[in-house]
Amino acid sequence: MYIVCSDLEGVFVPEIWVNVSSHTGIDELKLTTRDISDYNILMHRRLELLKKYGLTLRDVQNVISLLKPLPGALEFIDWLRTKTQLIVVSDTFTEFAEPLIRQLGRPTLFCHHLTTDSEGNITDYNLRQEDAKKHVVEALQTLNYKVIAIGDSYNDISMLRKADHGILYNPPQNVADEHNDLKVIKTYLSLKRFISQIIQCEE
């Protein structure tokens, strides 16, 4: 039996930090896991920038409230749920993800959480576990699921490689070039076709 594990940002919704950068004019905040492979380095830098410019959790949430699913994402998720189960596995945080997950019909979400102070400043981030995406796949495989994993960034690679079928969905060229042995798919229609083929071969 197959189950799908998918990243959130870049697959179903726009990149949160890219939009925060656009709305605030802080250019360095546009860097994501598509650009920097070490997630901890990336997050520490983000927290430094939020502190430097006095941006609070509410400021980030206000930007997120303006975001909508990527064109075709809802239709793809609705289709996928007629075929198998979906778990969204993300390196985002519950404090960011809620309005986005709600718009997607509330698929199951595994992610992290933030620490804030009394004034709403983000003071730290708390990983549910290191390399959490890969561990989700491993856990499902111990339950005798076969896993189709979908991601677009450096922080998805270990998950994609651990899965029975790993898919880079519309990745930036640098990620695709560095991991050119992984299958690259660029549209939801092609994603439907590929997943359908996998599931049909199982039946």
Residue range 47-65, pLDDT digits in tens: 999 999 999 999 999 999 9
Residue of 128, 115, 126, 13 lying closest to 56 (CA atoms) = 115
Pairwise pLDDT comparison (37 vs 45), residue with the higher score: 45
Residue 119 scores a pLDDT above 90: yes
What pLDDT sits at residue 203? 55
| 117 part of the active site | no
| 130 part of the active site | no
**36: pLDDT confidence band, cut at 50, 70 and 90?**
confident
- The alpha carbon dihedral of 125, 130, 133, 137 has a sign of negative
What pLDDT sits at residue 201? 76
What pLDDT sits at residue 202? 67
- What percent of the chain is helix, strand and coil (3-state, nearest 5)? 45, 20, 30
CA distance 109 to 149: 14
**34: pLDDT confidence band, cut at 50, 70 and 90?**
confident
What average pLDDT does the structure give for the chain? Answer: 94
Give residue limits of the domains in the chain.
2-14+71-113+128-202
Rounded to 5 degrees, what are φ and ψ at 201? -65, -25
Domain 2-14+71-113+128-202 fold: Rossmann fold (3.40.50)
| Residue bearing tokens 């004034």 | 119
The model's pTM? 0.93
